[in-house]
Chain A
């Protein structure tokens, strides 16, 4: 017989796996704290390799959680990222689920 899941546990099990990965969670946290962030700052603050960072950013972009802007500054390519409303919502939902799972939520 399967025991009924508590709402808090259910919330934890249903968390968004795209956000749940620690590196992606950190990327979204940085992006949510600013309007636009360059790749170089993400690399510096998160301590990830370029390849690793690019891979995580691509997954977040595929999920529609961030937008990418590519430009040239003095012939040097510069990539910037912005969190989307969907990404912000996903991050908030994830945080709420985690807090509720720990019994720290409002409800």
Chain B
């Protein structure tokens, strides 16, 4: 059996699919076409979309560390009931932001790609924020109310501003680019929010005997725990997915 004749080979070449899934090579096409080119474009689009999520909605290990730190702080708070344990909640905000910056650089080390904003993601984040803000407010107000240690209108106003601003700004940071101005704003609002917490916990005891307050506080603590576990799970999944993405990106490069 000899090799195929030149005519047969030419015919085989003509019947191969092109990069646009055509049955023949079009005039003006400068690169030899092959059947997998159309698939490659689809894969290219899919890989780009997934890679882009690591700019706005996926932060892998940053979520894992933040979630674990939040759970650790909660445990410390419950066990020690100290002022420092409560203040450490507020330190989580700047730590989180710092981790987001590091995570973005790590996961997008092949060049930055900004994810296209999708309305569904935006709504989800905003709903999450509203819920988190409500829980945080309940937490602070619930632990201050009825203890004769309410710090006064100005710190209370600053606290409310800080508690509302932190998660909303954090969500904006997650959805958009992190810049120094936003990071500083977050750190300062965290500091403002710290003021009313100091008198609220100065005796080293923050639980109230009032059952209503206890329920509010328990609800807020539960919300924080669920939030922490959710971001740990999401972070692990994103990290694993990123490893697969690396392989897909490498394969694309090789095929090119």
On A, residues with C-beta under 8 Å from B are: 12, 15, 17, 20-23, 25-26, 29-30, 32-48, 78, 80, 98, 101-102
Which residues in A have their C-beta under 8 angstroms from that of B21? 98, 102
Decide yes or no whether B51 CB sits under 8 A from chain A. yes
Q: Please tell me if the beta carbons of A37 and B44 are within 8 angstroms of each other in the complex.
A: no
Residue of B whose beta carbon sits closest to that of A48? B256
Task: Determine the distance from Cα of A53 to Cα of B93 in the docked complex, in whole angstroms.
Answer: 41
Q: Please tell me if the beta carbons of B116 and A44 are within 8 angstroms of each other in the complex.
A: no
Decide yes or no whether B45 CB sits under 8 A from chain A. yes
Task: Determine the distance from Cα of A102 to Cα of B19 in the docked complex, in whole angstroms.
Answer: 13
Query: If A25-B19, A80-B112 touch, does A33 touch B256 (CB 8 Å cutoff)?
Result: no
**Contact among B22, B37, B113 with A101 in the assembled complex (CB-CB below 8 Å):** B22
Query: If A29-B45, A45-B249, A98-B22 touch, does A34 touch B256 (CB 8 Å cutoff)?
Result: no
Task: Determine the distance from Cα of A105 to Cα of B161 in the docked complex, in whole angstroms.
Answer: 54
Interface-side segment among B25-33, B207-215, B230-238: B25-33
Decide yes or no whether B253 CB sits under 8 A from chain A. yes
Task: Determine the distance from Cα of A44 to Cα of B255 in the docked complex, in whole angstroms.
Answer: 12
Which residues in B have their C-beta under 8 angstroms from that of A37? 48, 111-114
On B, residues with C-beta under 8 Å from A are: 19-23, 26, 28-31, 37, 40-41, 44-49, 51-52, 108, 110-117, 249, 252-256
Which residues in B have their C-beta under 8 angstroms from that of A15? 26
**Contact among A22, A47, A98, A102 with B252 in the assembled complex (CB-CB below 8 Å):** A47
Task: Determine the distance from Cα of A62 to Cα of B93 in the docked complex, in whole angstroms.
Answer: 45
Residue of A whose beta carbon sits closest to that of B30? A21
Task: Determine the distance from Cα of A4 to Cα of B221 in the docked complex, in whole angstroms.
Answer: 75
B32 to chain A, nearest CB (A): 10
Task: Determine the distance from Cα of A44 to Cα of B117 in the docked complex, in whole angstroms.
Answer: 23
Nearest first, the 3 closest Cβ-Cβ pairs linking A and B are A47-B256, A41-B111, A40-B111
Task: Determine the distance from Cα of A32 to Cα of B44 in the docked complex, in whole angstroms.
Answer: 11
Which residues in B have their C-beta under 8 angstroms from that of A22? 19, 29-31, 37
Query: If A21-B30, A98-B21, A102-B22 touch, does A26 touch B44 (CB 8 Å cutoff)?
Result: yes
Q: Please tell me if the beta carbons of B112 and A41 are within 8 angstroms of each other in the complex.
A: yes
B107 to chain A, nearest CB (A): 12
Which residues in B have their C-beta under 8 angstroms from that of A23? 31
Which residues in A have their C-beta under 8 angstroms from that of B114? 34-37
Q: Please tell me if the beta carbons of B44 and A34 are within 8 angstroms of each other in the complex.
A: no
Residue of B whose beta carbon sits closest to that of A33? B48
Q: Please tell me if the beta carbons of B28 and A20 are within 8 angstroms of each other in the complex.
A: yes
Task: Determine the distance from Cα of A23 to Cα of B51 in the docked complex, in whole angstroms.
Answer: 20
Which residues in B have their C-beta under 8 angstroms from that of A47? 252-256
Q: Please tell me if the beta carbons of B52 and A44 are within 8 angstroms of each other in the complex.
A: no
Which residues in A have their C-beta under 8 angstroms from that of B51? 34, 41
Which residues in A have their C-beta under 8 angstroms from that of B49? 33-34
Which residues in A have their C-beta under 8 angstroms from that of B48? 29-30, 33-34, 37, 41, 45
Task: Determine the distance from Cα of A13 to Cα of B4 in the docked complex, in whole angstroms.
Answer: 32
A36 to chain B, nearest CB (A): 4
Task: Determine the distance from Cα of A70 to Cα of B65 in the docked complex, in whole angstroms.
Answer: 34
Q: Please tell me if the beta carbons of B19 and A44 are within 8 angstroms of each other in the complex.
A: no
